[in-house]
Structures are given as C-alpha cells and as structure tokens.
Structure 1
Amino acid sequence: MYGLTKADKSYTFYHDETNNIRKLHIAAQALNVAELKVFVLGGVVHEGAPRPIDIGPLRVVMRVQKTASEIKLEHVAKGDFLDLLRSLTTFLRWITENGLMIHYHDLDPLYWSIVVDSILLENPELFGFMRR
C-alpha cells in the first residue's frame, strides 16, 4: 500500500517512552507543563511473533547491574552525540547479532496540539483513526 514494503508482515515491538506529558493544555498565558520536551517512543523490534531474548550477555558486556530493572542510556553511554555512538557500538552489535532492529519515533506535543488537533476539530470523521 502506498509503496510501503513488508507492511503486511508481523512484527513484535519492545519499547519505552520518555517525556510523555499525556495531555498538553494551551492557555492564553502558559502551558500546563513547566518545560515542554519532545515525546520519544523507541526500542527494538523483530519480525514475527514474540520470542525469548536473552539480555544477560548484553548486561555483562555493558556492565549493567543485574538489579537494574531496565537498561537505560545513562547506564551505558555518556557525552556528546559522537561519544554516544562510540559507546553504543556494543549495543548495536548485540542488536544485529540477535536479529533485532531499532525503532524510534519522536513527537513534538506543541505541534501535535496545534496542527493535528486543529485538523481533527475541522474533520471530526478522522477521530475514529486516533487513539487517545
């Protein structure tokens, strides 16, 4: 459809989110949040049904404690963008060796609130396509 390839295949996503403010309210004087940040949803994905993924070896080589409930960027990499990429080489190798891909999406909540919500208000028939 529309030139998309593999859109009819099954994928399993493992993800986390950050900076999700849930709802943005725009008032005449201010927003309902002190600092507006971009909402990010990202993680790993593989083709097919869910399957076991052993992150034990990854924790060992990245020196993440067994007691950490999640592997966060702050545990494995620091510095500017290029330093982060150098630090993440081990993780990227593990992704490849385990048949995984990275998925990433960022959304500007102010843009969404102004542009997308305005479109929806003018075209209520599109609400059926939105999840709130």
Structure 2
Amino acid sequence: MDIDELRDAEIQLHGLTKADGVYTFYHDETNNIRKLYIDDGRLNVAELKVFVLGGIVHEGAPRPIEIQSLREAMRIQKTAPEIKLEHVAKGNFLDVLRSRKLTTFLRWLIDNGLMIHYHELTIRCSCNTTSC
C-alpha cells in the first residue's frame, strides 16, 4: 500500500488544509523512560507514566524568537534557564486556567505567530507495573 494513500485519506477526513506546509517545531518532553524493557517477566521501571512531547511551532523556516519581553512580563528570573509550568501557574487545572501569567503567555504566542503542539503516549501493560 502506498503511504500517501493513507496520508491523503487522513488529510481529507480531518480537513487539513496546510499539511504540506513548512513548519519549525521546538519541543520538550516529560516522563521519558528512555529505555523500557522486560527482563524475567518484569519491567525495568516501577511506574509507567504518560509520556508527553510538546512545545511551540511556527510556519516557515527557523527564525529568531525573542523571549525577553515574555520573561519580563511574567517576572521570570534571569537565572531560570527555561520557562516551565511552575513559572506560569500553580494549583489544580482550574487554577492554572485562571492564571494571569497563562493569559500573558498565550497572548505572547498569538502575537508572535506561534502555535502549541502536543502529543501524549500512554504505555499500557496488561500486568502490574513491575511484572508481566
């Protein structure tokens, strides 16, 4: 089967109009196990967590992204090497949504022609997390 047939069907099904465009992705990950294996019927990790890959993306080739104004607006210390959720909001989901810093961050994304990309992968095991 030609992979383009599958791809084209998905593009049409979801009405994707810019699937062939050029995009630049910047990403980070959380809960990366690095190596998952089974030895003597047991997993090498105690707990399987949701792996998340996400970040920002913009149309076109890589370009400079000025973040100093964002860091200043959100009052993030210069010594912080990167912006993490703890700099944006704290609390439960609804607390995060109410955060003024989240609003500042989302407005900055829009103003700079940036979008959010996100993918989660859940590893499921039909056993408990330490033995299969």
In the superposition, the TM-score normalised over structure 2's length comes to 0.77
Please report how far the alpha carbon of residue 30 of structure 1 lies from its aligned counterpart in structure 2 after TM superposition. Answer: 3.3
Which stretches in structure 1 are left out of the alignment for 5+ residues? 112-132
Q: Which amino acid aligns with 1:41?
A: L
SS in 1 for 2:94: helix
Matched, 1:19 2:22: no
Equivalent residues of 1:12, 1:48 under 8 A apart: yes
Please report how far the alpha carbon of residue 110 of structure 1 lies from its aligned counterpart in structure 2 after TM superposition. Answer: 3.0
Instruction: Tell me the residue number matched to 1:66.
Output: 78
Q: Which amino acid aligns with 1:98?
A: N
Could you report, residue by residue, the CA deviation over 1:68-112 in whole angstroms, capped at 9, with x for unpaired residues? 11100012210111111222111111111111000000001236x
Counterparts of 2:96 and 2:74, CA distance in 1 = 13
Q: Which has the higher helix share?
A: 1
Counterparts of 2:93 and 2:38, CA distance in 1 = 32
Please report how far the alpha carbon of residue 67 of structure 1 lies from its aligned counterpart in structure 2 after TM superposition. Answer: 1.3
- Identical residues among aligned pairs (%): 75
Larger RCO, structures 1/2 (Cα 8 Å, 6+ apart): 2
Which stretches in structure 2 are left out of the alignment for 5+ residues? 1-7, 126-132
Instruction: Tell me the residue number matched to 1:77.
Output: 89
Please report how far the alpha carbon of residue 27 of structure 1 lies from its aligned counterpart in structure 2 after TM superposition. Answer: 4.8
SS in 2 for 1:36: coil
